[in-house]
Amino acid sequence: MSKSDLTISLNEVLFYFTRAGFGVNAPIGISEDFARSNIWIAQNGFDPSECSLLALDNLDSQKSSLSIQFEKSSNGGHLFCPEDNVLSALEASVSCVDWIEFNGINGALKVANVDCPLLVVSALGANQCTGIKVLWIDQSNNLYQVNLIDDGKWEIIASSESPIENSSYADIEISAFDASEKTSIKNGKLKTFNVANEKLKALNSGVKVGDKWPQIYEYFSRCLVKSSAESRASGAGAGLVDTD
Amino acid sequence: MANEAVLIDIESDFMRTPEKVMRLDRMGSSFPTRLSFMRTLIRRMSEENWKFERTLRNVDKDGYGVSVYSAITPKRTYSLIAFTQEIPADMRTDRVIAEVWDATFSLFDGVPTQDDIDYLSNNTPLQEGGRYRPSELVLARANKSLRVFEDIISSLASGVQPDLELISSVGYLMRTTAVYGSGKFGCADREKIANREECKTPFHIELLAVYLIRWFTIDMVEELAKERGGKKAVRLDKNISQFIGVGNSTGLGMAPFLLKHPALIHNWVVAKETALARVRSIETALPNTIEVFLRSLRQASQHIDEWNVADEVQSARISLLTDEIQALRMWCEDESNIYRPYPWNGIYQYVEDNFSLECQEMVVSLIIEPHGSIVDDLADTMSTSSTPKFKADMTLSQLKEGVEDAYNWATTIDFSLEESQHHFWYYSEDKLEPRFGSKGVDEGVEQEMPLAIGRDVHDLNKVLQVIDEDMPIGEFVMMYPQFRHIIRRIQNTFERPYSEVQDNLLSESMRPLDLLRFKLAFFGASKFDPKSDLWTRISMYQGAPLPDQIQDSNHDCWSYPIAGRSQSYPCVNCLCQKAI
């Protein structure tokens, strides 16, 4: 399982990503949500390890933080890391979902300096937060707008060809999606997703994970306990040779 | 979800409370009922007239090679691909860490091509070491029962039926040591098949694989006997082959499953408890049901006589059960005890007031049994696609109130005592084998699985006592992210009160075995044979009709089977209408 270029199931995404989050010291509740976000990513045809590795690396090396604070603003709210650090997408994503659940989409929610914006989008998607627009400019000055239109459809409008899963370090703005409103991204490239179709493909063909998978597995494997002769002999109850 | 909504009548006077049902000692006394998944699968097979075929047998004179056994349902075919090989006796173990097995299996979604079989021949025998595709639904393996397997072949080869006592003492020819589904090792996700009629009930696809494995084991000994004995060989007597189940060895892996699927567990328990409540609320017994129950007590007594285990605790419980069922029979001889209003409630109440949990739970199973007409619809309510969600719009005061109401069992545990936090659960790097460790003895407490529900609720409750109740819960988890998972769990329990095991799973006295038996009883397993507090052997499908008996009128009459007899559980549910 530690090799690259594997095809895995959605259940394996849940299993390994929950523990990978835990492996970089994210609390289990956040790790569970992180894994569910990765299922949504996988169901939509992306490689979840490609989308999530940076967020895990950052937490592991403490380049990002789970500390978060909320401030009300005249037009909504503002989520940020009080330590003046990069805000981990693992925390930003659950906090955005919670905020929308609590407030609805009245006004705009701004989230400062998030390492992996697509993880925030996927958390919203995984929690059926629809009628929402997510906008950001990343550190490479690529502009993205993601419209979560309804349960069945979402779309990406991007200013460049650069893959959205590689987009990193951005201030995000989440607001209500208005179909009649024109995008602010000039000459943007549009990609639409039909959730049911994409999901069917994942169920029938599995989820392909590429060269970043071994590092996800490495984080996962931190949850495993070294086997000793004693635990091998007695930790599972049954004997090492069983006949009847 | 519609089904989930209609059935719950938790306010019914006859419904047992979660506080009563979801305790480890009662869970560890569970018996299968007619709602158990093996029973409902067999009924479906019969109702839908499933066909069964052996479509390939490419094995040598010792039975080593590949075979394919198919189940043909009205809409689809499912194929069990079985690989058999010779293995050294000292490499047989029931553990996850095993490396070789006598037989390995994949349940294929459809009819496999030669390419599929070739692909699986390089993977299935490796089990966890192989990789599988969404076309594979189940992965499993089994080892021979050394006591029985060879003996039966020799007997049949020489033209005589095998020793029934020996068969009865084991109950199966092969014992599965793992049956994996739901996306394990690349196999199909549950969601791929969850909307198929034949797969909607939980674990039906895994239990179909087990049913085909049972057929494969019986077919295998008969073929090997023929190979060895030629014309002199005989086939197994039908009464004997129907009595042969398939064994299973179950360890710690099942326990985390129960804890990780609270919504599903709630639905299972509510279905069973609703069935019991419906029966207890009957004012006048339905025709013949009392007579059937009285006869079933006799059959259950004989079944218990054949339930012999080495484990001292279980052996004592079986011995007590024998006496209690006998005492119940005598009590029932006084007609005034049973021919009265609300007879089933009277019987249940008498048993609850006087007998052990083991006896209480067996009687629950026995009084539900004759009432197929009023409980079988509940089988359709036992699955769920719901995943508990974190609800940020709940207030902290609501949460606090909920903890007080539903988690008193957790908040009153003294976790400062060593014995309250004696154990921890973990995954070993050894093939991810789930293990149960003791603090201060075993390494790995830092990597503990998040199954310490009681302790986490206890810790949360302490913080809730000192925090401003007006704080929105979303803000609270920003400050205390470590409580997110337990809050989600508590919120789920508000909606699904039967989802939580109401005992401390870290306690020194905790027996994982209780969780295993609870789940296995829902599967329909019988003859629980604990080998330690951490694992048990069981029989599955013992007494169940074989593929060529699925259309028999008594296909549903196989509860509490007795060795060597035509399965004759007294019945008012099926077309056989046995004399009562």
Residue A218, min C-alpha distance to chain B (Å)? 12
Q: Which two tokens stand for residue B385?
A: 């696609």
Q: Which residues on B lie below 8 Å from A243 (Cβ)?
A: 89, 92, 146
Nearest Cα neighbor of A108 from A71, A73, A138 is: A73
A2 Cβ under 8 Å from any chain B Cβ:
no
pLDDT tens profile A82-125? 998 999 999 999 999 999 999 888 889 999 999 999 999 999 99
Could you tell me if B357 and B413 lie in one domain?
A: no
Percent of chain A residues past pLDDT 70, beyond the cut? 100
Range of the domain at B16: 2-34+258-384
Whether the CB-CB separation of A152 and A122 falls below 8 Å is answered with: no
Per DSSP bridges, beta strands A143-150 and A153-158 are antiparallel
For residue B69, how far is the Cα from the chain centroid? 23
* Spatial separation of the C-alpha atoms in residues B379 and B202, rounded to whole Å: 10
- With b meaning 16 or more CB within 10 Å and e meaning fewer, what string describes A100-126? bbebebebbbbbbbbbbbbbbbbbbbb
Do B280 and B301 lie in one domain? The reply is: yes
Residue B137: how many CA atoms within 13 Å on its side-chain side?
A: 25
Is B77 part of a structural domain of the chain? yes
CB within 8 Å: A231 and B442: yes
Is A229 part of any domain? Answer: no
Give CA–CA dist B450/B42, Å, rounded: 36
Q: Nearest-CA residue of chain A relative to B251?
A: A236
Q: Judge whether residue A183 has pLDDT over 90.
A: no
Residues B458-504: tens digit of each pLDDT: 999 999 999 988 888 999 999 999 999 999 999 999 999 999 999 99
Q: Please tell me the distance from the alpha carbon of residue A157 to that of residue A50, in angstroms, as a whole number.
A: 20
Residues of B in contact with A94 (CB under 8 A): 390, 477, 484
Same-domain pairing of B305 and B362:
yes
Q: Looking at residue B5, what is its pLDDT?
A: 43
B248 bridge partner residues: B176, B538
Do B150 and B224 lie in one domain? The reply is yes
Distances from the Cα of A220 to the Cα of A23, A50, A58, A140, B96, angstroms: 6, 15, 15, 30, 19
Average pLDDT over residues B542-555: 94
Rounded to a whole number of angstroms, the CA Rg of chain A reads 19
Whether the per-residue pLDDT at A153 is higher than 80: the answer is yes
Q: Residue B566: what pLDDT?
A: 72
Question: Is B531 a domain residue?
Answer: no
Distance between CA B382 and CA B524 in Å, rounded?
14
Residue B64 has pLDDT above 50, yes or no: yes
The separation between CA B487 and the C-alpha centre of its own chain, rounded to angstroms, equals 29
CA separation (Å) from B335 to A158, B33, B286, B288?
Answer: 81, 26, 16, 15
Residue A3 has a pLDDT of 86
Is the same domain home to B187 and B226? yes
The per-residue pLDDT for B6 is 41
Angle value at C-alpha B560, between B555 and B561, nearest 5 degrees: 65
Tokens of B316: 């004592």
Q: Could you tell me if B131 and B137 are in contact, meaning their C-beta atoms sit under 8 angstroms apart?
A: no
**B116 and B13 in a common domain:** no
In terms of phi and psi (left: phi > 0; alpha: psi -120 to 50; beta: otherwise), the region of A154 is beta
The region that residue B49 occupies, defined by phi over 0 for left and psi between -120 and 50 for alpha, beta otherwise, is: left
Residues B416 and B461 in one domain: yes
DSSP state of A150: E
Minimal CA separation from A100 to chain B, in Å: 9
DSSP H stretches of helix in B128-247: 149-157, 164-170, 190-193, 204-229, 238-243
pLDDT at A7 over 70: yes
Q: What angle in degrees, to the nearest 10, is found between the helix axes of B357-368 and B343-354? A: 170
Does A34 reside within a domain? yes
Token duo for residue B166: 């020996």
Which residues on neighbouring strands pair with residue B423, listed in sequence order? B438
- B569 — pLDDT class (breaks 50, 70, 90): low
The total number of structural domains in chain A stands at 1
What pLDDT is attached to residue B12? 81
User: Which DSSP string do the residues of B221-247 spell out, in sequence order?
Assistant: HHHHHHHHHGGG--PPPHHHHHH-EEE
Question: Per the domain annotation, does B463 fall within a domain?
Answer: yes
**CA dist B412 → B462, B486, B532 (Å):** 11, 17, 29
- Our count of domains for chain B comes to 3
End residue of a domain, out of B384, B411, B436: B384
Give the residue from B251, B276, B305 where a domain finishes. Answer: B251
- Same domain? For B201 and B97 the reply is yes
| Residue A185 lies in domain | 6-224
Residues B102 and B247 in one domain: yes
Residue A209 domain-assigned?
Answer: yes
Q: Please check the confidence at residue B3 and state whether its pLDDT lies above 90.
A: no
Residue A230 lies in a domain: no
Q: What is the mean pLDDT of chain B?
A: 94
> Is residue B161 domain-shared with residue B46, that is, in the same domain?
yes
Confidence of residue B573 (pLDDT cuts 50, 70, 90): low
* A205 contacts chain B (CB < 8 A): yes
Exposed e or buried b per residue across B32-42, where buried means at least 16 C-beta atoms within 10 angstroms of its C-beta: bbbbbbbbbbb
B-chain residues near A83 (CB < 8 A): none
Per DSSP, helices labelled H in B94-133 are 114-121
CA pair distance B60, B66, nearest whole angstrom: 9
Determine the pLDDT at residue B553. 87
Is B66 part of a structural domain of the chain? yes
User: Do B435 and B474 fall into the same domain?
Assistant: yes
Shortest CA gap B449–chain A (Å): 8
Per-residue pLDDT at A237: 78
For residue A244, tell me if it sits in a domain: no
The answer as to whether B562 is a domain residue is no
Please report whether residue A175 resides in a domain. Answer: yes
Task: Give yes or no for residue B578 having a pLDDT over 70.
Answer: no
The answer to whether the beta carbons of residues B390 and B487 sit under 8 Å apart is yes
Q: How confident is the model at residue B8 (pLDDT cuts 50, 70, 90)?
A: low
Which of B445, B472, B495 is the endpoint of a domain? B495
Question: Would you say residue B159 has pLDDT above 50?
Answer: yes
Give residue B127's pLDDT band: very low, low, confident or very high (50, 70, 90).
very high
**Is residue B389 domain-resident?**
no
Two tokens at A87?
């805000």
User: ipTM for the complex?
Assistant: 0.95
Q: Residues B71, B197: one domain?
A: yes
